[in-house]
Amino acid sequence: MEYRVIKENDVFLLSEPNGNITKEHSYGLGLYTKDTRFLNKLNLKINGENPVLLSSEANENYMATILLTNPHMEDEKGLILWRESVEIERKRFINKGVLYEALKFKNYFPKTITFSITIEVEADFMDMFIVRGFQTGKVGKRTGQFVDGEQLIFTYQGADNLSRKTLISWNKQPSSVSDLGEITFEFTLDHEQEEEVVLMIQPQIGEEKKDKILPMRKALNDLQNSYAKWESSSTKVKTDHQILQRLISRGLNDIRVLLTDVGYGQFPVAGLPWYGVPFGRDSLIAALQMLPFNSEVAKGTLKTMAAYQGKENNSWRDEQPGKIMHEVRYGELANTDQIPFTPYYGTVDATPLFLILLTEYVKWTGDFEFFKELQGNVDAALTWIDEYGDKDGDLFVEYHQESSKGIANQGWKDSGDSIVHRNGDYAESPIALAEVQGYVYQAKMGIALLYEAVDKGKEAKLLKEQAVLLKKKFEEQFWMDDVSFYAIALDQNKEKVGTITSNPGHVLLSEILNEEKVEHVASMLVSDKMFSGYGIRTMGEGESGYNPISYHDGSIWPHDNSLILLGLSKVGKQEEANRVMQGLMDAAQHFEYDRLPELFCGYSSNLGKPVKYPVACSPHAWAAATPLTFIQSLLQLFPNSISKEIYLNPCLLDNMNELNVQGINIGEGILSVTVKKEAGETFVSIDENTTGYEVISSRCKNEIYN
């Protein structure tokens, strides 16, 4: 990556690999919280010169470690500092809203040396949307920068009447501090002597009371303990498939770094660096992917979405009562209503996904009390689907942008060119997306099951009747006989948007399709047209809109593949699911730290390695959680707390001989499973089952249960 990013809760730091924050970098480097940049410059110099980068590591997710050294320095008077005399280590992490940067210097020159270290800092308090070049608008002004005792303080008065400050402190007395933003330390070190200075940088908004800054060692220990707690509370996986093992570890750690709490419990923000805020669709799907590993993520996500659920008709924000938000922003432009993200509701799929996640959460946990707690939110979401999502009463949920600064395409493929006819014309809204109809079907059938379980038979019957009608009409309107596949959408004239895309693959998970159509859909998705060797493309090769380097028209999105492969597993197409998983694992080995990015280009694997998409977020929540869905898919694991049954039909990858999954939380107990492959036979051992549920298997051959 051309950057290093670390995050904890709602504060993140984006820097160059050498640790510096420079103004010239295309990514808009800085220290951010609440969509505001609190530091836009952080340069380290030794004797006034830039150090030389040796290594830059961020594999621990929450902490970056950077090694540098000095260049050769001499003038007309002679030697100042021999090259590579000083080892400079920058170690940084964030905890409790404070960025800690430990700078350690070690002398490897044979004799005593003296040198100066200068830290150059600056704060512009720029709104994230302005940093990214998306918006301009009325903003506030800098109100000063000054030295106050052992602090350097930058201040800003926003157009939203909020004051903002960047507070910089240190644990070693500087030789000088300039209110221009330069902090200088002098060091005299004997051979192999080392010394450390710690900078603490704290953003502040308004007059909020800040806790006393913890000493660095205590803050780091506190952070490490939270990661250990996360690991201990999550399902454990061991396998002889080393690539998968690395991907599982990476995915769990990446989800942890993306967890945020805005007051309703922890949930995953969409991704870094640009989407470190609550997102309806992204957060809901990531939580859905996480259910076999940590169901508390789903609970925090659902509570957060419920708290922001639409309350009124507001065309500026594309809001209607009951609608689940697309995205919320907290910066100056949002606070002054110059952009509609307070929250913005321009998403057609988040509302049914909210209901799906709630249904699946209850199926995994049996937590009917939580379902009852959210009953009002469920009722409002169902009302939105029927009254606002389906304004013309044709049974299909459609979207249409009303906000002048909103999003035109409001499904997960939300770029302006993503819904395109075979002839290259862009579809006009209102638009009904294929996958959204599947989501609505799944949501209504799922909520109906929960209603039956809590003695709401009348409501359950109505939802099932609506779902059956939707299934029939979906088949009539979306199926394309000429290509034996489903259209991506219907346009404003109810004409099929016939381009071959990945969207209908999501419908497999909803179980809205009959067996014959499942065969056709599965075959198309793993055909050469759609499957690159590294994953399923968003659009088929050869389509008029196909572009392998586009955002949504031929690229490969791991999360898109994950929902498809879960659907393939659910309908018994495990061979196809395994092929998709293997492709993604082959791709992951070519990305830093085996980290699947938000997306990558859709070129064929014949090129030898995947082609990176230039501005993909990494880590990204639903990409990070994608390898976790491999485990559910390989186990073909689908629990149902309503029927007290666990469907389990393990099928390992061809180059995989053992899979051990321990501590899967289901209901009020746990399930632990070991799967081994020997001499062509698959042996499945239920190591522990304290759920009280019956384990049912029917699909895989050669299974022997112990």
> What would the two tokens of residue 327 be?
């995205």
User: How many Cβ atoms sit within 10 Å of the Cβ of residue 78?
Assistant: 6
Half-sphere exposure in the Cβ direction for 347 (13 Å, CA): 28
Distance between CA 39 and CA 430 in Å, rounded?
42
Q: Is the pLDDT of residue 519 over 70?
A: yes
Model confidence at 698, pLDDT cuts 50, 70, 90, reads low
pLDDT higher than 90, residue 76? no
- Average pLDDT of the residues in 263-287: 95
Q: Is the pLDDT of residue 124 over 70?
A: yes
129-138, 212-221, 376-385, 563-572, range with the lowest pLDDT:
129-138
What residue type is 65 in one-letter code? T
* Unique residue bearing structure tokens 């694992």: 585
Give the pLDDT score at 274: 86
Q: Please, are residues 40 and 21 in contact by the beta-carbon 8 Å criterion?
A: yes
Q: Look at domain 234-635 and name its CATH class.
A: mainly alpha
Q: What is the mean pLDDT of the chain?
A: 95
How many CB atoms lie under 10 A from the CB of residue 188?
A: 11
Q: Please return the burial class of 195, using the count of CB atoms within 10 Å of its CB with bins 0-12, 13-18 and 19+.
A: middle
4-224 under CATH 3.40.50.1220, yes or no: no
Residue ranges per domain, the chain? 4-224, 234-635, 645-705
Nearest by Cα to 288 from 363, 369, 365, 361 = 361
- Please give the residue that has the higher pLDDT: either 703 or 381: 381
Condensed to tens digits (0 to 9), the pLDDT of residues 284-314 reads 999 999 999 999 999 999 999 999 999 999 9
User: pLDDT digit string (tens) for 162-218?
Assistant: 999 999 999 999 999 998 899 999 999 999 999 999 999 999 999 877 778 999 999
The mean pLDDT of 253-267, rounded to a whole number, is 96
For the residues 597-624, what does the mean pLDDT come to? 94
Pairing between strand 182-189 and 669-678?
Answer: unpaired
pLDDT of residue 703: 46
pLDDT of residue 575: 95
pLDDT value for 704: 46
**Burial class (CB within 10 angstroms; exposed 0-12, middle 13-18, buried 19+) of 478:** buried
Q: Do the domains 234-635 and 4-224 match in fold? A: no
> How many other CB atoms sit within 10 Å of the CB of residue 530?
24
Euclidean distance between the first and the last CA atom of the chain, given in angstroms as a whole number = 47
Whether 410 has a pLDDT exceeding 70, the answer reads yes
Q: Is the pLDDT of residue 702 over 50?
A: no
**Token pair belonging to 32:** 């951010």
Cα 206 to the chain's mean position, in Å? 29
Specify the pLDDT at position 1: 58
The yes-or-no verdict on residue 603 having pLDDT over 60 is yes
* Nearest 10 degrees: Cα torsion 549, 555, 559, 564: 180
Q: Give the model's confidence band at 701: pLDDT under 50 very low, under 70 low, under 90 confident, else very high.
A: very low
* Cα–Cα distance measured from residue 181 to residue 377, given in angstroms and rounded to the nearest whole number: 49
pLDDT at 700 over 90: no
Beta strand extents in 213-303 (DSSP E only): 236-239, 259-260, 267-268
Question: Mean pLDDT throughout 557-562?
Answer: 98
Cis peptide before 430 (omega within 30 of 0): yes
Spell out the SS3 assignment of 401-457: CCCCCCCCCCCCCCCCCCCECCCCCECCCCEEEHHHHHHHHHHHHHHHHHHHHCCCH
Please count the residues of the chain: 706
Q: How many CA atoms lie within 13 A of 6 on its CB side?
A: 26
Confidence of residue 629 (pLDDT cuts 50, 70, 90): very high
Within 13 Å and on the Cβ side, how many CA atoms surround 311? 5
